[in-house]
Amino acid sequence: MNLLQQTLANINPPDLHCQQLAQQRLNSLTKPLGSLGILEEIAWRLAGIQRLPLPKLPKEKISLVLAGDHGVVAEGVSAFPQEVTPQMVLNFLQGGAAINVLARQAGARVVIADFGMATPLPHQKHLMDCRVKAGTDNMAQGPAMSRQEAVQAIEAGITLVLQQAKDPLSLIGIGEMGIGNTTASTAILAAFSGLPVLELTGQGTGIVEERRQQKAAIIGRALAVNRPDATDPLDVLAKVGGLEIAGMVGIILGCAGAGTPVVIDGFISGAAALVAQSLAPLCREYMFASHLSQEPGHRIMLEMLGLKPILHLDMRLGEGTGAVLTFSFIEAASRIINEMATFAEAGVSQG
Ligand SMILES: O=C(O)c1ccc[n+]([C@@H]2O[C@H](COP(=O)([O-])O)[C@@H](O)[C@H]2O)c1
Ligand SMILES: Cc1cc2nc[nH]c2cc1C
């Protein structure tokens, strides 16, 4: 068995008994029933994931940020040039990007990995080398990558979880950097949903309406040229996906296999989540959706995943920024269930 198959075989449902015990405790705490809304749902879901009636605060918070390039940028689908991918990776390594600031705020460690930028950076001590190839091929003309390359990138993502999150009580956030990756993510969503491409296509880094329509036409062409099989997630990922997207699929599967909660970020990690769910439906139980991105397809993606976004901040940055912002809400939910007094303990009358 290869690492992907082993990981898929390791994914179990969360512990329902621990979930129920957590729900009972939440109902006994000094507040009207259900009045802490989504925080309560986070607390009982975390109990099921950690297999503990009382979930623990994360031992370590980690933001895994994956970089990759996209051959389809040759079609003019992004507002920015491809060289921005390595330039931003250097910015991440120097601590000056939004993800660095928000991770410092959240007390999280940031890990940056190159899954296949078009031009590799000269050796950087703190950059993980998970390169599969020098960017994907142009999906408007043929498959973005081979099936083997997609599996290699997924397995590199699984390995990253095994190396970086040894304690299952860690909390993992995922994020990405890749000029052109909203095009790949939209194609993945269109392949799985069958919805009209124009409805799913957004502005990405900031293209104007005319270029958004051209971007939708290019995604339509990529789907027509490649004919991805929606019943075969690896086929969809290889034909119209991306290397960093495949890496995030691996991280999600790796976290689900290890029983570690994983927070997905915006539209691109959502596309990875769709592929992961399609490979292993149970892995959605280990995911938290951090925020609702401004990309129009993101709401549909989250509905397909059955996940509720915790934050609505009109963000569309990526990098894992929404995911790390959500860490404090997950910690807050864990504190609530552990630290609040019950009606009996506080001598408060129940309604
Ligand atoms: O996270 C999101 O929802 C999101 C929405 C739009 C753009 N992005 C980021 O912008 C880049 C992709 O945009 P584009 O226009 O080049 O496809 C990539 O680096 C993403 O991290 C991210
Ligand atoms: C500057 C910049 C920063 C980003 N971070 C994630 N995607 C990005 C795209 C651009 C263009």
What number does the ligand 1 atom closest to the CA of 269 have? Answer: 1
68 C-alpha vs ligand 1 centroid, how far in Å?
12
Burial of 141 (0-12, 13-18, 19+ CB in 10 A): middle
Per DSSP (E only), the strands in the chain are 61-67, 109-114, 127-129, 171-177, 262-264, 287-289
Q: Give DSSP secondary structure letters for 149-188.
A: HHHHHHHHHHHHHHHH--STT-EEEEEEE-TTHHHHHHHH
Q: Give pLDDT, residue 300.
A: 98
ipTM of this complex > 0.90? yes
Residue 176 appears among annotated catalytic residues: no
Ligand nearest to the CA of residue 204, numbered in listed order:
1
* CA 337 to ligand 2 centroid distance, Å: 37
Residue 351 — pLDDT band, cuts 50, 70, 90? confident
Average pLDDT of the residues in 296-323: 98
- Ligand 1 site residues (CB inside 6 A) read 78-80, 176-183, 204-205, 265-268, 293, 295, 316-319
If you average pLDDT over residues 271-275, what whole number do you get? 99
Starting at the edge strand found earlier in the chain, the sheet holding 171-177 runs 127-129, 109-114, 61-67, 171-177, 262-264, 287-289
- Token pair for 228: 């991805």
Tell which atom from ligand 1 comes closest to the C-alpha of 321.
1
In three-state secondary structure terms, 317 is: coil
Q: How many whole angstroms from 278 Cα to the centroid of ligand 1?
A: 23
- Percent of the chain at pLDDT above 70? 100
Which of 139, 188, 205, 265 to probe ligand 1 with, by most ligand atoms within 8 A of CB?
205
Atom of ligand 1 nearest to the CA of 202: 6
Residue appearing with tokens 């083997």: 148
Model confidence pLDDT, tens digit, residues 161-209: 999 999 999 999 999 999 999 999 999 999 999 999 999 999 999 999 9
Closest CA to 242 of 284, 180, 193: 180
Please identify, by atom number, the ligand 2 atom nearest to the C-alpha of residue 91: 3
Instruction: With cut-offs at 50, 70 and 90, classify the pLDDT of residue 278.
Output: very high
Distance 230 CA to ligand 1 centre (A): 24
301: part of which helix (H) or strand (E)?
helix 297-305
pLDDT at 232: 98
Q: How many helices (H) and strands (E) does the chain have?
A: 15, 6
- B/e letters for 59-68, b = 16+ CB within 10 Å, e = fewer, are eebbbbbbbb
Statement: residue 1 has pLDDT above 90: no
Spatial distance between the Cα atoms of 38 and 32, rounded to a whole number of angstroms: 14
Nearest-ligand number for the alpha carbon of 83: 2
> What pLDDT digit, counting tens, does each position of 20-59 carry?
999 999 999 999 999 999 999 999 999 999 999 999 999 9
| HSE toward the beta carbon, residue 314, CA cutoff 13 A | 0
Kindly report, residue by residue over 60-92, the tens digit of the pLDDT: 999 999 999 999 999 999 999 999 999 999 999
Q: Hey, what domains does the chain have and what are their CATH numbers?
A: 3-56+336-346 (1.10.1610.10), 61-329 (3.40.50.10210)
Residues with CB under 6 A from ligand 2: 80, 84, 88, 177, 205, 317-319
Length of the chain equals 351
- Structure confidence by residue, pLDDT tens digits, 88-113: 999 999 999 999 999 999 999 999 99
Burial class (CB in 10 A: 0-12, 13-18, 19+), 349: exposed
pLDDT at 325: 98
205-222: average pLDDT? 98
Q: How confident is the model at residue 297 (pLDDT cuts 50, 70, 90)?
A: very high
- Whole-number percent of the chain with pLDDT over 90: 99
- Maximum Cα–Cα distance for the chain, whole Å? 70
Report pLDDT for 342: 98
Grade residue 292 by pLDDT with cuts at 50, 70 and 90: very high
CA of 204 to the centre of ligand 1 (A): 5
The per-residue pLDDT for range 137-169, each reduced to its tens digit, is 999 999 999 999 999 999 999 999 999 999 999
**Rounded Cα–Cα distance for residues 111 and 170 (Å):** 14
